[in-house]
Amino acid sequence: MGMSYAAPRKMVAHNMVTTQFELDGFRVVRMLGVVRGIVVRSRSIFGTIGASLQTLIGGNITLLTNLCERTRAEAFDRMLEHAAELGGNAVLGARYDATEIMPGVTEVLAYGTAVYVEPIR
């Protein structure tokens, strides 16, 4: 059985992403356009049953919380990869959106504006 090793993907650093439209200590040199990361995910039958059981106890439904967090993180990372593909080193105006496409299937979109920034001297 062979093993494959995926090359590390180039992506913008997490600390270079902001919901603001400017990045403190940096000036925008080039605007590169809108970038996005999208993930469409469904719950498994086991996750649905487990979450249903957790609702009987009340409180945080950890199975769904973990699923949502993994989905958001994946969409965010895809957005950062898209920004790096365009030559960006930062993302401004980062946002999330989520839509239920059909029962049990949700789309999560992370989007923002890819820019190339330089430190202010």
Domains observed in the chain? 14-42+69-119 (3.30.110.70)
Average pLDDT over residues 49-76: 71
Give the pLDDT score at 58: 58
What span, in angstroms and rounded, lies between the C-alpha atoms of 87 and 32?
A: 8
Average pLDDT over residues 82-107: 93
pLDDT, tens only, 17-57: 999 999 999 999 999 999 999 999 776 555 555 555 555 56
CA dihedral 39, 42, 48, 50 (to 10 degrees): -40
What are the percentages of helix, strand and coil residues in the chain, rounded to 5?
Answer: 35, 40, 30
What span, in angstroms and rounded, lies between the C-alpha atoms of 23 and 18?
A: 7
pLDDT, tens only, 46-61: 555 555 555 556 556 5
What span, in angstroms and rounded, lies between the C-alpha atoms of 90 and 116?
A: 6
